[in-house]
């Protein structure tokens, strides 16, 4: 299996293409980001764009907010640097951890913002998790769609046309690039292209049949384009206009807000500032390893190599030490969805990406997270 000669990620990484030197297209994009983009000009464009919406309603913008490092950084910048009044909107995917919740509370108090939290029906969540796992090898359909579609629906409902998201998708994939003059929009094209796994809310209703209604899946449904155009919406990626650096962003919010990192499954301590909000992130990364042959550490290593803070040789050592271990949180995941590990493995292995071939021999077990014993493990999906 081929890997990028610069970042080390394999050819099974989504949207990868290699050049004649076996360098991936995402690494090439980062060269453009670091050498050709006029970030001063982009900042001026951003300031001009947001001035069109400042003071026009009860809120200047919506900031979709998970409470992780990226959305916390954007919210901090929107309030403290750009002097906007946001409505902060969270779609609670159902698996928040305690340190994360404390970070959210601390951030909201420090910045003094209005906060709208939506927590979906967990029985519906359970049904969609298993269905999307079976169909796409990814149980996070409800999270992908809810986090993206719900704030857009609230923009229509509350007539708040400006929505400000986090990093550019070009940071990690080849769906978009950093080309000058093309402002990447978080719109319906993006939703259908790389967010919803190719499954709309209407599709999911059809898949689940009598088990669920269209009303049940309304929070996951992207609003009609005519309704968005009626409010004159503009859905922007902050990282399109400001040079993005996850490590520096995390350092800033830790210093200014007191935001805290936490132990994360499948990641060494130096990367414990990312993906800390979700109980089942370790399971998702385990699935990624089974399907594609790499995990979360490999992705974090690639980012740090592109940022010039880590060598490929040292990165490979971190990947070898941390990726590909069976997460202890899998026990929790299997219990709440009422499936066995054999059923789980049979489903996931069907979604392997060639030329990767997962080897089930000599699987190592990961460490149990310090807070796992406190998680409520009530069953959310009872099998018929």
Residue 113 CA to residue 187 CA, distance in Å, equals 25
Residues 6+ positions from 100 with CB-CB distance below 8 Å? 67, 68, 262, 276, 277
The DSSP string of 273-284 is TSS-SBTTHHHH
Q: What local confidence, expressed as pLDDT, does residue 183 receive?
A: 60
Q: What are phi and psi of 101, to 5 degrees?
A: -60, -35
Q: What local confidence, expressed as pLDDT, does residue 176 receive?
A: 83
Size (the chain), residues: 384
The DSSP string of 303-371 is HHHHTTSS-HHHHHHHHHHHTTPBPTTHHHHHHHHT--HHHHHHHHHTTPPTT-----TTPPBPPPPTT
- Residue whose token pair is 């919210």: 75
Q: Answer for the pair 38, 199: CB distance below 8 angstroms, yes or no.
A: no
Bridge pairing between strands 234-237 and 61-64: unpaired
The kind and range of the H/E element at 300 are: helix 296-306
Q: What are phi and psi of 282, to 5 degrees?
A: -65, -35
Residue 349 CA to residue 357 CA, distance in Å, equals 9
Q: Answer for the pair 140, 132: CB distance below 8 angstroms, yes or no.
A: yes
- Residue whose token pair is 């939290």: 117
Could you read off the pLDDT tens digit of each residue along the chain, which spans 384 residues? 999 999 999 999 999 999 999 999 999 999 999 999 999 999 999 999 999 999 999 999 999 999 999 999 999 999 999 999 999 999 999 999 999 999 999 999 999 999 999 999 999 999 999 999 999 999 999 999 999 999 999 999 999 999 999 999 899 998 888 875 556 677 888 888 889 999 999 999 999 998 899 999 999 999 999 999 999 999 999 999 999 999 999 999 999 999 999 999 999 999 999 999 999 999 999 999 999 999 999 999 999 999 999 999 999 999 999 999 999 999 999 999 999 999 999 999 999 999 999 999 889 999 999 999 999 999 999 976
């Amino acid at each position: 299996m081929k890997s990028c000669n610069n970042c080390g990620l394999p050819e099974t990484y989504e949207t990868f293409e290699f050049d004649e030197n076996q360098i991936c297209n995402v690494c090439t994009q980062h060269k453009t980001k670091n050498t050709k983009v006029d970030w001063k000009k982009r900042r001026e464009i951003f300031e001009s764009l947001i001035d069109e919406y400042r003071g026009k309603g009860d809120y200047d913008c919506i900031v979709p907010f998970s409470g992780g490092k990226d959305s916390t950084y954007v919210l901090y910048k929107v309030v403290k640097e750009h002097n906007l009044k946001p409505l902060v909107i969270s779609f609670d995917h159902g698996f928040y951890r305690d340190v994360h919740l404390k970070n959210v509370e601390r951030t909201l108090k420090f910045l003094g913002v209005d906060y709208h939290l939506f927590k979906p029906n967990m029985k519906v969540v359970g049904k969609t998790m298993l269905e999307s796992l079976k169909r796409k090898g990814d149980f996070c359909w409800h999270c992908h769609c809810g986090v993206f579609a719900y704030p857009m629906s609230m923009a229509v409902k509350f007539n708040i046309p400006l929505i400000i998201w986090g990093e550019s998708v070009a940071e990690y994939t080849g769906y978009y690039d950093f080309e000058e003059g093309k402002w990447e929009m978080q719109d319906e094209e993006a939703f259908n292209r790389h967010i919803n796994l190719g499954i709309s809310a209407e599709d999911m209703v059809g898949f689940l049949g009598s088990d669920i209604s269209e009303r049940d899946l309304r929070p996951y449904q992207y609003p009609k384009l005519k309704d968005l155009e009626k409010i004159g919406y503009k859905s922007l990626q902050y990282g399109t206009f400001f040079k993005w650096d996850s490590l520096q962003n995390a350092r800033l919010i830790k210093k200014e807000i007191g935001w805290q990192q936490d132990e994360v499954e499948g990641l060494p301590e130096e990367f414990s500032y990312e993906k800390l909000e979700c109980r089942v992130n370790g399971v998702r990364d385990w699935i990624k390893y089974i399907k594609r042959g790499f995990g979360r550490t490999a992705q974090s290593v690639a980012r740090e190599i592109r940022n010039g803070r880590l060598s490929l040789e040292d990165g490979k050592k971190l990947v070898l030490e941390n990726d590909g271990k069976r997460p202890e949180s899998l026990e929790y995941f299997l219990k709440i969805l009422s499936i066995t590990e054999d059923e789980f493995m049979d489903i996931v292995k069907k979604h392997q990406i060639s030329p990767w071939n997962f080897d089930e021999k000599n699987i190592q077990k990961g460490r149990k997270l310090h807070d796992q014993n406190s998680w409520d493990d009530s069953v959310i999906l009872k099998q018929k």
